[in-house]
């Protein structure tokens, strides 16, 4: 928007407003996952032994690897935002691509983890799972839903980043205007922080 048109409106670009909107959205996302965490807490409290046994079956190494991958991707996107602020467009784009790549690697890992479990006959409503104690059915039910929902958010994040990449190419993201990138970064940190809670709840606490 050029200067002449800007003067027509008193409120032209409201970066603070855009960020406020994003924070409100993140708040509602947190509560969406909050509902799942309530279920997890309640069922864990009711079936401590079953949760203990079931959680031992998850692959801690793969989980830890994914945690490292996701944290690194968060670092990349934060660095990408800093870079665009300083006007280093190329660097910012590379970091953005690195974030996307790490997000995809996370999903591939998750896919391996899921398929291994499914090959062992452990998936919702499977005969092998239904033969187990009820607490374990719940544990794996929650595992699939919560990591699945989280994975979906990772996928959405990667899609959003590819839109950002297009914006970069069209020069709609630059030193003067980078709020969309900052907001998608905020979203990515949300995805990250939810994983920070999922990881210990499913893999570490036994």
Instruction: Return the number of the residue (71 or 141) whose C-beta is nearest other proteins.
Output: 141
Binding site for other proteins (CB under 8 A): 1, 5, 8-18, 20-21, 24-25, 27-29, 31-36, 38-39, 42-43, 46-47, 124-125, 130, 133-135, 137-138, 141-142, 144-145, 149, 179-180
Q: Minimum CB separation from other proteins for residue 39, in Å?
A: 6
Instruction: Return the number of the residue (94 or 144) whose C-beta is nearest other proteins.
Output: 144
Burial class (CB in 10 A: 0-12, 13-18, 19+), 104: middle
Instruction: Return the number of the residue (33 or 195) whose C-beta is nearest other proteins.
Output: 33
Q: Do the beta carbons of residue 129 and residue 122 sit within 8 Å?
A: yes
Kindly report each contact of residues 83-92 with a partner whose C-beta sits within 8 Å and lies 24 or more positions away, as own/partner: 84/173, 84/174, 84/175, 84/178, 84/181, 85/175, 85/178, 86/175, 87/174, 87/175, 89/168, 89/174, 89/175, 92/168, 92/181
Q: Considering Cα of 53, then 54, then 55, then 56, what sign does the dihedral take?
A: positive
Q: Could you tell me the CA-to-CA distances from 97 to 16, 65, 101, 128, 164 in Å, in that order?
A: 26, 20, 6, 41, 10
Q: Minimum CB separation from other proteins for residue 178, in Å?
A: 13
Instruction: Return the number of the residue (10 or 171) whose C-beta is nearest other proteins.
Output: 10
Instruction: Return the number of the residue (130 or 169) whose C-beta is nearest other proteins.
Output: 130
Q: Minimum CB separation from other proteins for residue 87, in Å?
A: 22
Q: Minimum CB separation from other proteins for residue 105, in Å?
A: 26
Q: Minimum CB separation from other proteins for residue 117, in Å?
A: 14
């Amino acid at each position: 928007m050029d200067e002449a048109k800007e003067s027509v409106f008193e409120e032209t670009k409201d970066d603070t407003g855009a960020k406020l909107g994003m924070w409100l959205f993140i708040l509602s996302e947190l509560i969406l996952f909050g509902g799942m965490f309530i279920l997890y807490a309640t069922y864990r409290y009711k079936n401590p032994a079953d949760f203990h046994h079931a959680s031992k079956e998850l692959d801690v190494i793969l989980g830890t690897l994914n945690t490292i991958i996701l944290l690194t991707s968060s670092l990349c996107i934060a660095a990408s935002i800093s870079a665009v602020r300083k006007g280093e467009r190329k660097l910012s784009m590379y970091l953005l691509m690195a974030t996307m790549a790490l997000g995809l690697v996370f999903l591939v890992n998750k896919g391996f983890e899921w398929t291994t479990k499914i090959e062992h006959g452990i998936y919702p409503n499977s005969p092998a799972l239904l033969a187990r104690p009820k607490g374990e059915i719940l544990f794996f039910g929650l595992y699939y839903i919560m990591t699945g929902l989280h994975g979906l958010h990772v996928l959405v994040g990667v899609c959003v980043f590819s839109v950002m990449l297009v914006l970069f190419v069209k020069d709609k993201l630059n030193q003067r205007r980078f709020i969309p990138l900052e907001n998608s970064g905020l979203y990515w940190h949300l995805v990250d922080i939810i994983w920070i809670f999922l990881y210990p709840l499913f893999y570490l606490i036994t």
